[in-house]
Every structure is written in structure tokens, then in C-alpha cells.
Structure 1
Amino acid sequence: MDASGTLTRNRLVEVTLDEGSIARSSHDVEHERAVAIYDLIEENAFRPVGHDGGPYRLRISLVESKMMLEISDEHLKPVMTHILSLTPFRKIVKDYFLVCESYYAAIRTATPSQIEAIDMGRRGLHNEGSRVLQERLDGKIEVDFDTARRLFTLVCALHWKG
């Protein structure tokens, strides 16, 4: 909402995952995906370049190693489809998951300073993935850094096997 209390136009109001291409997974994975979508909807800045007819709905599907972003307006009128290769994210996502595993293991036995150091590494990888996502969307879809972070969380949740 903006200062007048009205819904801003340049934002997402709905994000759905195509169940035909994104298989259902374990309860934990489904929960992580739901949380990522909820966080994204709660706060975002999103606008297809050259289009001012939002708010927008986003449908995400996977085709081979690509993520298809189908964007429509709030009345389901198609705005654009953007296909994003996930290849540039593979190493970052893999490293991110490894650091997350270390973090969860460290919580049980490590000192607070060790846990904080691992968490700083995790946040650094998350930021790197967010910057790559922003770069890959540049000229096609405008997102602020916080929205890129939330979208990258969703990219990770799509890769997580549980």
C-alpha cells in the first residue's frame, strides 16, 4: 500500500507454481515454498519493463533447466512471458545449500561467534544470488533488491529436495 492506503500498481499480488512442471514434494519443501511465496507477496516491487498496468500475477513453471515467468495483470490479461535460464544459479544454489547445512549443524554444537560467521556466509551467498537474479531480469522485469532476495529464496525453494 502507498501513503494514501491504496494498492500500488508495481507489485505482485499473486504468485502460483505450475503443478504440472513443478512436482509436489515433501511437507517440508512445500512449506518452504509456501513461506517464500507468502514473503514475496507481502512486500515486493515488480514491474515488467514498459508496462504500467499492475498489480501483477506471476505464474512460475519449470521447463528443462529454465524457469518460465508468466506475468498477467490483476484481471488475468497476459502481459508477458519471460524464460530465465537457471544455469547461472546452479553453483550459487549448491553453495548456499551447503552453507545452510553447516549452519543447521553448527546450531547444535558451535559457539555463537562461529554460528554468526557461518550465517554471514549464508547471507553473502543469498545476496550474490539476488544480484545475479536482478542482472538476469535487467531490461525485462524491474525488481528492487529486496524483491530479488525474495525471488531468489523461491528459486532456492524450487531446487530444494528436502
Structure 2
Amino acid sequence: MAKGTGTNRLIAVDLDDSIGRGPPDIEHERAVAIFDLIDENSFTPTGGHEGPFRLKLSLAERRLILEVRREDGKEVMTHILSLSPFRKIVKDYFVICESYYEAIKMGSPSRIEAIDMGRRGVHDEGSRLLQERLAGKIEVDFDTARRLFTLVCVLHWRG
């Protein structure tokens, strides 16, 4: 799938109050994840809808609610995504990220590189799962799935 150009892309991502706010470092990471996602993405809801699109994320009972609207605000779709299948991957990702940050402080370059490869592998696994779980509802390329998975992780991060 080609990178989103014209109509097949997100132009805004908003977080509902149901997500809650965190300390400044978490809010910064969320803002960076959103910026990266908007900066480059390929996002196409099924059904031949014309974009570009605005995405509003909210949480309810361990589910991520993706509300998709057109640029003019007209509702396109709402997709509810269970976060249960992501629980283990997100937990593993956080554990390996902690190891990575510790290795940066006092590890050798080869140790840092090995941990980083593992971190990227777990992130890729989560990205593929997200792409699979959205299939048939919202088509995203792998890079967009990676950016969305980063945002899902940041939404879980409590610091």
C-alpha cells in the first residue's frame, strides 16, 4: 500500500478525556507519538470513504474506541478494538524498554544493540497484530501500524 497522500491519511488525532492525563513526561511521549503518526501515515477506512480523516481515540472497558471522521467532521465510522490481545505484547515491550534504558546507562554497545533488536522485534509483533485486528475495517500500511502501536503503548504507559 502506498503512503497516504490526498485522501488516504490522517490529518488529526485527538485523545478523549476517557484516556486521562499523565505526568508531563508521559504527555510529551503521547504528543510525540501523535505527531509522528500524523506526519506520515496511510489510513483508509473500508467502504470507499473519502478523507482525509480525523481520528479520536477513547477508552472504555479495556477497549480502544477509534472514531473516524472526515476533515469536515462528518462521521465515517467507529471501530471498537479489544486491547486484551495486546496485553502481553505491551507488557513485554515495557519490560524490554526498561532493560534498554538501563543498558544505555551502563551497558556495552553490543548489549545495547542486542536489546534494541529485541525491542524492535516486539514492537513489530505488536504492529502486525494491530494491522491484523484492524483488517477489514481500517487499512493501514506497516509503518502506520507501527506508529499506531507506539501510541497504544504510550496510552498504557503510567511512568
TM-score class, shorter-chain normalisation, is over 0.9
Residue matched to 2:13 = 15
Match of residue 135, structure 1, among 132, 137, 156: 132
Partner AA of 1:27 in structure 2: P
Assess if the C-alpha contact under 8 Å between 2:10 and 2:43 holds in 1: yes
Distance 1:137 1:84 in 2: 8
Which residue pairs with 1:25 in the alignment? 22
Q: Is 2:77 the partner of 1:80?
A: yes
Amino acid at match of 1:26: P
Q: Distance in 2 between matches of 1:61 and 1:130?
A: 19
Instruction: Report the secondary structure of 2:37's partner residue.
Output: helix
SS of the residue corresponding to residue 80 of structure 2 reads strand
RMSD over equivalenced CA pairs, Å: 1.0
Q: What is the TM-score of this pair, normalised by structure 1?
A: 0.94
Deviations 1:35-71 (A, max 9, x none): 0000000000001011231000000000010000000
2:29 counterpart of 1:36? no
Contact 1:10 1:52 in 2 (8 A): no
Q: Structure 2 matches for 1:88-107, cutoff 5 A? A: 88-107=85-104
Total equivalences in the alignment: 156
Amino acid at match of 2:130: L
Question: 4+ residue stretches of structure 1 with deviation over 3 A?
Answer: none
Q: Secondary structure at the match of 1:101?
A: helix
Alignment partner, residue 121 of structure 1? 118
SS in 2 for 1:84: strand
Q: In 2, are the aligned partners of 1:14 and 1:41 still within 8 Å (CA)?
A: yes
Query: Structure 1 vs Structure 2: percent identity of aligned residues?
Result: 68
Q: Distance in 2 between matches of 1:100 and 1:48?
A: 32
Report the Cα distance in structure 2 between the residues aligned to 1:137 and 1:90, rounded to whole angstroms. Answer: 16
Gaps of 5+ in 2: none
